[in-house]
Structure 1
């Protein structure tokens, strides 16, 4: 059974882990599409699940010179205390708890405590056939950082994370030679060792609809400790010969038992509660400002003329057209078109009557353009007021463009 799990874990490490890494990188590359799913403020989380210890390689350098024989390490005359090979474990369990803080922009940080426990199954490629018993417990603390993502589905929010910390490995295990029926050779492994550790995390949260701030979580964690790990080892029973190299495995001996690797894969189901959650409608619905009211339609328009001219300029026609269109948006009983002139005609053209006549013809041309643009002729009245009501006060005989004008008033 343990060899079966060892093969499955090797497949997981060779194929599944790279696939998860690529998926995480792909999601990061899609951050403009996969928006941040913010966790804001304080939260707590906890969970538990299944733990898979990958096979731990025994350090073959732990050896003892057999009495009366000397030789370089590894030679047939140099007998080892502990056999080589790889320790195998049955699936166990893992629990964790954490407290963290969401930054409100998709990132969050936390401190976490965790523990895993796996039963020893046996040894692979060892110097003698062995049956294992006892367990290995690993516990420690981590500082983790996460990035939560919104992929457009309101029921699932993926996240990825990474953590560094420190772990302790506590062994209470026994290997018994199954080839000996009486007083079999036995290795008792115990003690605690610690080292720095790191972990990679990928998972997803699933909001609980009826409890704001509560989510279930499903995640995968890959955890490893750096360096080798030394434990105490005591041998007893009938000595044996290591079938892999012919070395004697003596008894009774107490020494250090070393392993070179620790890799753990865990799948956890848990809960996370946010104390200051962002309501879904705040996250998903943009704030819509009411439309600005339409500007009130103008009631007065002015057009200007060249000196001594009644001809409408292109700009004058644009303004008259705007007035005609807006005539349908305002309430009025009549449209009064008043024409004016500057003071130059009084001295150059023979007196006020010239300016009165010129201003009237300007106003009449504006009325004709209004009618052309759809205004009923009966609603428009025309006046020529000459050089009166000057916009720019001047003396007599002065040419001024602002005074040569026609005003359109909706009354």
Structure 2
């Protein structure tokens, strides 16, 4: 039995290194801190000593704790029961007695998960608290109050953000309760449920600003008269105005860099007014149209002076 327990402990101690070496095999999940509750149970071996020879017993209990994502703290209550035989002194000599040793413990545990964001995470821990135990195999029930302590090593399976299954091995002991040395090895299977809030949803970016409809009318060099293509564009702008209902239109005239600034300023205004007149003919009220002349400012295509660039000879129509 001792060799088996030592082998199991050695295997559990190797788990953190193995988990780090093979962490690529474990799917990573987001995790959040939170309060958890759980139930657990398993097998308990009250190790053989000079006084008693105990059979394999059982243990069961519950925990309430808080997961800090890595470190965990918990309050644990457990009941342990073992049956066996012991030598008891009587006035006329000694006799072998079959009986029970019971233990109730309340422990504060501190644990650490090595891979808290992984599906499989090894952990270690330690605890201390108080225990109420039988003073002997045939003594009064749970009448001896003792200091209790334990060491824990195990592995957890994070089924999802809230549900977790733990399998661990423990050394549990108390100060001397009376007629036997109270040293225990326990294997425990437990399930916990964490009341963690789901990760906050990413904040949606603000909706993109809706750009008002705009249209571009182009002109021949040194001209402000409208081509057939320009008239078609102006008709589309008038339809956009009518669809909006209550809107305004801005017509901004531009020129290229050929000619003087004074002449081009006047030319840009003539072009903008020509567009306004065409919009009025399409049914847009004149009071809803603003006219601006910018001359050589605001070039669509950047050029040097005295360059005849067709893209710069234009009126921009914005419906808003």
TM interval, shorter chain, is 0.5 to 0.7
Per the alignment, residue 176 of structure 2 pairs with: 229
Shift of residue 116, structure 1, vs aligned partner? 1.1
Aligned pair partner of 2:125 in 159, 162, 165: 162
Structure 1 residue 21 displacement after superposition: 2.0
Q: How many angstroms apart in 2 are the aligned matches of 1:45 and 1:135?
A: 27
* Equivalent residue in structure 1 for 2:45, among 17, 40, 52: 52
Question: In the alignment, does 2:295 pair up with 1:389?
Answer: yes
Q: Give the aligned partner of residue 135 of structure 1.
A: 100
Alignment of 1:95-244 (within 5 A): 95-103=60-68, 105=69, 107-121=71-85, 131=96, 133-146=98-111, 147=113, 149-151=116-118, 158=121, 160-168=123-131, 169-173=133-137, 192=144, 194-204=146-156, 215=163, 217-225=165-173, 229=176, 231-232=178-179
Q: Report the Cα distance in structure 2 between the residues aligned to 1:89 and 1:403, rounded to whole angstroms.
A: 108
Describe the shift of the 1:166–1:286 C-alpha distance in structure 2 as closer, same or farther (beyond 3 A).
same
Within the candidate set 81, 92, 110, 2:57 is matched to 92
- Cα distance in 1 for partners of 2:117, 2:73 equals 18
Deviation for aligned residue 1:220: 2.1
- Confirm or deny: 8 A CA contact 2:77 2:106 kept in the other structure: yes
Larger Rg: 1
Distance 1:151 1:408 in 2: 64
Count of aligned pairs between the two proteins: 234
Classify 1:173/1:289 alpha carbon distance in 2 versus 1 (closer, same or farther; 3 Å). Answer: same
Corresponding residue number in structure 1 for 2:9: 17
1: CA distance between counterparts of 2:149 and 2:173? 4
Rate the CA distance shift 1:35–1:195 in 2: closer, same or farther, 3 A.
same
Q: Which runs of 5+ in 1 are unaligned?
A: 1-6, 59-85, 124-128, 175-189, 233-257, 301-330, 347-351, 356-387, 393-399
Report the TM-score, using the length of structure 1 for normalisation.
Answer: 0.43
TM-score (norm 2): 0.53
Superposed counterparts of 1:391-410, under 5 Å: 391=297, 406=309, 407=312, 409=314
Asked if the contact 2:79/2:103 (under 8 Å) is kept, the reply is yes
Equivalent of residue 183 in structure 2, options 262, 268, 272:
262
**What RMSD over aligned residues (CA atoms) do the two structures have, in Å?**
5.0
* Matching residue of 1:247: none
